[in-house]
Structure 1
Amino acid sequence: MRILEDFKEVFRKSNNALAQLIMINIAVFVVLNLLKVILHLSGSAPMFTKLQEFVMMSPDPSELLFKPWTLFSYGIVHMGILHILFNMIVLYWFGQIIMSYLGSQKLLNLYIYGVVAGGLMYLIGFNLVPYFQQQALGQAPLLLGASAGVLAVVVGAAVLLPEYTIHLMFLGPIKLKYIAAVYVFISIIQVIGDNSGGELAHLGGATLGYAYIRQLQHGRDLGRPLAWLFEKIKDLFSRPKIRVTHKNASYSFGTENVSGTRSRSEEKSANRIINQEEIDAILDKISEKGYDALSKEEKQMLFNASKK
């Protein structure tokens, strides 16, 4: 199926977090809404309610204890088409800015941490603030939507580049700091409205976005544990390893298929005299951006060096 192949292609590419996040949200939206129609038409509506409770977040701490994944899974769940459309458009706009200046991993860090921070703010608000506790006395509202993660990206971009200007339809050029300020202000004044849980999550995501970029500007990357986790997961599915020593440390990376007929450029690369400075530069690039960021020639040079 071509659609499935296109979906796989998005995830084969490295440094492609923005497209991957959008595709995941869209895929979950399509699957959940199709299941909703099917289960309702078949008279199994209560089953769909159970499914919602399985992936959306409850303000009840005991629910989170038995379903800890909902602290993240709620952030990729949308049921309304306008809800997902607006979130994905904003994520695309501001995610491109973060990707351009900080890279794919930092965008992923902002989004995931923003979702988690939003969920925690929602949980704290509905358990410690009297106004929200009164709201939860009846049917506790379940939390869903990517807005907390999206707002973390929006505020993060504004903190990183406050004077950066984008052109909005009907409004003209506006600086990022003003766009982020409007978003946060709207969430503050609507926090006592019908969507108070969602607005609490927005504020949690915004706070995280601000803190993450400010810490990054001071040389502290709060996303390192998350990046490490993703690297470990990636290693589980990586190709066979070879090792090269660099500056008294060794690094692992996937091997390339160099058997069979080589192209002229590959022969030229193989026959070059490779010095240690070139290898050090390549390994520094792996350390900063990952093995997949190397060019074909750099991979070949590294493979040739490993055989010496």
Structure 2
Amino acid sequence: MAHGGLKYNFARLNIAEKLITVNVLVFILDGLSLALLGNSVSEWFQLPKDFMEFFGQPWSIVTYSFFHAGLGHIFWNMIMLYFAGRIFLNLFDNQRFINVYFLGVIVGGLIFLLSYNVFPTLLNTNTALIGASAGVTAVLIFICAYIPNQEVRIIFFNVKLWYVGVFFVLVDLIQIAYGGNVGGRLAHLGGALLGYIYARQLLNGNDIGSGFTKFREAAVQLLKTKEKKGPLKTVYKKNATKGKSSADYDKQAHQRKIDAILDKISKSGYESLSKDEKDFLFKAGKEN
């Protein structure tokens, strides 16, 4: 029952909350491996600085984002991911969130790799890259660029999102100037660049993450085709499809309404929405 309850509760989380949960679990397990075995498993998943090492573990261009250097590192990353994710998922679905987050992770990792091999003496304090910061920054800068004039509450006063975005980019630039974690900061800026370009292109009607979506769908389909399916399973699948025709129609109508509201935002800004439209977007974000 406990296992089933955990699985049910996990399924109810939105994609940002699921990522937070996975990051926290990885952090705990990595800490346990260090305490019990005296060795961290992160070295198999962190992004190495050297291209030849990277070619030996290419999965690290994504997996590095699930490991963190300490409690403060993961705490601030997950706090930012939670709040940025809430705003993002009020506007878009899980799939677009995955695109922005993981493309930010990948671009940030590539910037780190390239920088280390172009400026090796500048970045000699880093040995490998870990942390979700590039993906988190991509999500944050995406919403700051997509709805820049939307205000958010910061302690006692309201601030426009574009001010928030500029602040975090400036912090990274200042840290680079003073030599603080240069490789990591450059990865942050890579994620920020991806988030900004993605948002501005989307406002122009161009989804630069569509290719990444197709790649992920193809990978999932490839895994499914490897599973053996008996004749009974095929019959049940056909019956299920017939039963869902009405639900599919409702889902398409629901998505058309979301698309119309997002189109209105892109033309006139978030402030042009009526209260009903804002409420609808908020509820739609919670359902995803």
Shorter-chain TM-score above 0.5: yes
1:56–1:143 CA contact under 8 A, matched in 2: yes
2:118 corresponding residue in structure 1: 128
8 A Cα contact 2:108 2:187, kept in partner: yes
Tell me, yes or no, if structure 1 residue 182 matches structure 2 residue 180: no
Which residue in 1 is equivalent to 2:23?
25
Matched, 1:144 2:130: yes
Counting matched residue pairs gives 249
Distance in 2, matches of 1:280 and 1:104, equals 18
Q: Compared with structure 1, are the counterparts of its residues 70 and 53 closer, same or farther at alpha carbon in structure 2 (3 Å cutoff)?
A: same
Contact preservation (8 Å) 1:10, 1:19? no
Task: Give distance in 2, aligned partners of 1:141 and 1:288.
Answer: 48
Aligned partner of 1:88 in structure 2 is 78
C-alpha RMSD of the superposition: 3.3
Distance 1:75 1:81, change over 3 A: same
Cα distance, 1:71–1:254 mapped onto 2, change above 3 Å: farther
Matched residue, 2:153: 167
**Sequence identity of aligned pairs in percent?**
32
C-alpha separation between the residues in 1 aligned to 2:147 and 2:238? Answer: 34
Structure 1 spans left out of the alignment, 5+ residues? 244-251, 259-268, 290-308
CA contact (8 A) 2:61 2:109 kept: yes
CA 1:77 to 1:135, structure 2 compared with 1: closer, same or farther past 3 Å?
same
Do the aligned residues in 2 keep the contact of 1:25 with 1:77 (CA within 8 Å)? yes
Residue 59 of structure 1: how far off its partner (Å): 1.3
Q: Partner of 1:103 in structure 2?
A: 93
Deviation (angstroms), 1:66: 1.0
Contact 1:95 1:153 in 2 (8 A): yes
Partner amino acid, structure 1, of 2:176: V
Distance 1:30 1:5, change over 3 A: farther
Distance 1:257 1:77, change over 3 A: farther
2:104 touches 2:135 (CA, 8 Å); kept in 1?
A: yes
TM-score, with structure 2 as normaliser: 0.75
Q: Quote the Cα distance in structure 2 between the aligned partners of 1:215 and 1:242.
A: 43
| Unmatched tracts of structure 2, length 5 or more | 258-288
Change in Cα spacing, 1:178 to 1:64, as seen in structure 2 (3 Å) is: same
Q: What amino acid is aligned across from residue 8 of structure 1 in structure 2?
A: K
Aligned residue type for 2:175 = Q
Structure 1 consecutive aligned stretches of length 4 or more whose deviation exceeds 3 Å: 4-7, 10-13, 229-243, 278-289
Distance 2:154 2:251 in 1: 42
| Structure of higher CA gyration radius | 1
| Higher normalized helix content (fraction of residues) | 2
Could you say what secondary structure the match of 1:255 adopts? helix
Please give the alpha-carbon distance, in whole angstroms, between the structure 2 residues aligned to 1:31 and 1:80: 13
1:196 aligns with 2:182: yes
For residues 69 and 185 of structure 2, the distance between their equivalents in structure 1, rounded to whole angstroms, comes to 17
Check whether the contact 1:59–1:126 (CA below 8 A) recurs between aligned residues. yes
Contact 2:68 2:131 (8 Å CA) reproduced: yes
Asked if 1:55 is matched to 2:40, the reply is: no
> C-alpha displacement at 1:225, in angstroms?
2.7
